[in-house]
Amino acid sequence: MKAGVVFLAVACLLVSFAGPASAQDGKPTKPLDPVTAILTAFKTYDIVALGEGNHGNEQGAAFRQALVRDPRFAATVNDIVIESGAGQHQAVADRYVNGEDVPEGELRKIWQDTTAPQAVWDSPIYGDLLRAVRQMNAKLPKGRRIRVLLGDTPIDWAKIESGEAQWRRTDEFTVETIQREVLGKKRKALVVYGDLHFLRIGMPAFAPTAPKEPPSMVALLERAGVKAFSIWTYTGQGRPDDQDLDKLQADVASWKVPSLAMVRGTTLGLTHFAFYFPAGLGTFSMRQPDGSILRISAPAGPGLMQEQFDAVLYLGPTKSITYSRPSAALCADPDYVAMRVRRIAVMAPPPPQAAPTASAKAQRSVSDDMIDAFKARCLAQAQR
């Protein structure tokens, strides 16, 4: 029998979008207790991949803590595969979750040395998951301890001198890790990644001249014959035009938080995926043949929701979602700030050749904007 995989993907983005007429033919879905539903799924599938939702959201992090700390979890699951961990530091993670003393500076490299140059994983919630596993493992016999697998593509930042980091990263490394360390050893794993890593129908290219989007983790696993079951968690993006699921099914407003809902054949599932991932969320920057930089808004997600995912994890109304940020102490550390600035600077393409009289904006690179935004956020955090 082929190995099964359950993908619980977490949503982050909503805007005004009317569902297609077929959505009206769907039946209402019923909320389930998410911890019980996930652990029950492990009876059938080897892997549950839990998408994070909008990166940094505290409600999703709280749910993952509750899931991992549930006494049934360690009796069911062997591994947790995380996006927020740099693969080159796997040995450090193994030592730490097994109770060995690991200096804080060495531990932080797990989430600071990923292919992401920005501070996306520097919020405390990501290290807290490792700490939760360490605490749970301290109560378990060695043979039942949970292993944390670092899923991000290994990279040596000391050798990166251009924007190659963002292109090196693919889901292939993660899939190979899952096949070798989990499925190959007949283990079961929870996979914690962002939503778009679990798309069945890939995103279209951002522009005619843009590279084709690589296959997602689900697509790669299913090509290898691994059955996948996916769930998108709905968090919103903190935008004024975010909509809640009760626009599709009115009684969602009364659901217990958190809840898990299957979507096939339901109003939620028969709604176009663009309701969950509308156009214009996020941007893609690429260099044109003439040297100029083209900034493009992301297209809307394709297909119906049930063609992309099998369930939705509901964390409450979008306006109730809050976010974790890097600590004030970290943002006050000049070495940390310098490290992030350097990595952001080498990630993005340099500005096009501009005439000396060109406006300052025309002479700026993508990384200039990102560096300014990072410094402003970190300065505000350091002054709190």
Give the C-alpha separation, 50 to 208, whole Å: 32
The mean pLDDT value for 76-96 works out to: 98
Give domain limits for the chain. 4-324, 326-384
* Alpha carbon distances (Å) from 94 to 3, 30, 91, 110: 25, 39, 5, 11
| pLDDT greater at residue 284 or residue 376 | 376
Structure tokens at 332: 């006050």
Kindly state the percentage of the chain with pLDDT values over 70: 78
- The full length of the chain comes to 384
What per-residue confidence (pLDDT) applies to 298?
66
Query: pTM to 2 decimals?
Result: 0.85
CATH class given for the domain over 4-324:
alpha beta
Contact partners, residue 253, CB within 8 Å, separation at least 6: 244, 246, 317
| pLDDT greater at residue 286 or residue 263 | 263
Residue with tokens 């990384």: 367
Lowest-confidence segment of 40-44, 180-184, 226-230, 257-261 by average pLDDT: 226-230
| pLDDT greater at residue 49 or residue 189 | 189
What per-residue confidence (pLDDT) applies to 218?
85
The SS3 of residue 345 is helix
What per-residue confidence (pLDDT) applies to 346?
82
Residue with tokens 């109003």: 267
* Alpha carbon distances (Å) from 84 to 71, 81, 112, 171, 310: 24, 9, 8, 13, 24
The mean pLDDT value for 222-246 works out to: 85
Predicted confidence (pLDDT) at residue 80 exceeds the cutoff of 60: yes
What per-residue confidence (pLDDT) applies to 230?
86
The mean pLDDT value for 60-74 works out to: 97
Lowest-confidence segment of 37-51, 73-87, 122-136, 341-355 by average pLDDT: 341-355
Predicted confidence (pLDDT) at residue 97 exceeds the cutoff of 80: yes
Averaged confidence pLDDT in the chain: 83
The DSSP 8-state label assigned to residue 303 in this structure reads: S
What does the pLDDT look like over 317-375, one tens digit per residue? 999 999 999 999 999 999 999 999 998 888 755 544 444 444 444 445 666 778 888 88
What per-residue confidence (pLDDT) applies to 7?
39
Lowest-confidence segment of 53-67, 164-178, 224-238, 354-368 by average pLDDT: 354-368
Structure tokens at 239: 């935008």
